[in-house]
Amino acid sequence: MPVVPLKEIVDRAFRERYGVAAINVVNDLTMEAVLAAAVEQRSPVIIQTSVKTVRSVGLDVLFAMWREMTAGIEVPVCLHLDHCPDRALLSDCLHNGWNSVLFDGSRLPVAENLRQTVDVVAEAHACGAHVEGEIEAITGVEDGIGSDEEASRQSLPVALDFIRKTGIDVFAPAIGNAHGVYRAEPHLDAQRVSDIVAAEPIPIALHGGTGMTDVQFHDLISRGCAKVNISTALKIAYMTSNLAYLRGAEERDSWDPPSLFTHVRAAVMDMAAAHMRRFGSVGKAG
Ligand code: 13P
């Protein structure tokens, strides 16, 4: 089971009510470690790249890494472009092999967001790729995109009209979730997920996964959140494991980069595997 379109991964998860971790990677080490965790756990996984990561690594290098690292892989995986308001970059990713994109038109008036999302869906589907759509900005700044001010939520009819008219494959509603570290436990409007799914059975993307509790994950996944986004947890695992190892290296006055990489890789794999277990996707690779 190699690289597959996003829908193949999320539609089954939606039907069977488990969640698939959609993890933002930042470089080669983290991409490889998250894929290795998926293989070890026999779990599907969605590898996400932010616009910032695409720009910092470079689109061609990033995709070459992806192609090499997934050659012959035996669990379902796909490559997703997270929050992208830039239509040109979005097209570049679609035409260079990304399996799905989140067109982030959430700062646009809904009618204009809808009009552009229709175009993105047509372009993506022609490339054999899929589209996640959103009508409200998710609170918090993620890799330079977004705002800390909570956007007001659109009504259910507006959300359903957007889903139906655009033909998006996954929908990302704002439910009180936020990117980054939660300063207090979030109050999540789980009922909004149920209301959308009852009226329009579409897999829901849950943003702002870092810091949610097991109870919140189980509840939201059981209501239809099939794609669960995790970014901050990877950044924390990556940076704190680097820091801890480098402090030890300084004490020992021992400087061996491959040992550092092994240590950090294990920390990132543990973080990814822990989320796969929490979301119920372990063993679902078949
Ligand atoms: P966190 O950074 O809170 O894990 O959110 C990730 C996310 O939603 C990426 O789009």
Secondary structure of residue 111 in the 3-state scheme:
helix
Instruction: Name the residue of 20, 23, 24 whose CB sits within 8 Å of the most ligand 1 atoms, as the mutation to test its pocket.
Output: 24
User: Helix, strand or coil for residue 80?
Assistant: strand
pLDDT at 1: 54
In this structure, what are the phi and psi dihedrals at residue 180, rounded to the nearest 5 degrees? 95, -165
For ligand 1, which residues put their CB under 6 angstroms from it? 24, 82-83, 142, 179-180, 207-210, 229-233
Closest by CA position to 46, among listed 230, 172, 240, 217: 230
Compute the chain's Rg from CA coordinates: 18
CA distance 181 to 100: 26
CA of 138 to the centre of ligand 1 (A): 9
272 CA to centre of ligand 1 in angstroms:
14
Give the active site residues. Answer: 82
Q: Give the C-alpha separation, 203 to 242, whole Å.
A: 36
184 three-state secondary structure:
coil
> Could you give the CA distance from residue 17 to residue 223 in angstroms, rounded to a whole number?
8
> How many angstroms separate the CA atoms of 205 and 133, rounded?
9
Local structure of 205: helix, strand or coil: strand
CA dist 171 and 57 (Å) reads 28
pLDDT of residue 143: 77
- Residue 101 contacts residue 123 (beta carbons within 8 Å): no
Protein residue with its CA nearest to atom 1 in ligand 1? 208
Q: How far apart are CA 49 and CA 70, in angstroms?
A: 15
Q: Is 91 helix (H, G, I), strand (E, B) or coil?
A: helix
How confident is the chain (286 residues) per 10-residue block, as mean pLDDT?
Answer: 92 98 98 98 98 98 98 97 97 98 94 97 98 89 74 92 98 94 90 98 97 97 98 98 98 98 98 98 92
Look at residue 142 in the predicted model and tell me its pLDDT. 72
Angstrom distances, CA of residue 138 to CA of 57, 70, 145, 233, 275: 25, 30, 10, 17, 21
Q: What are phi and psi of 100, to 5 degrees?
A: -165, 165
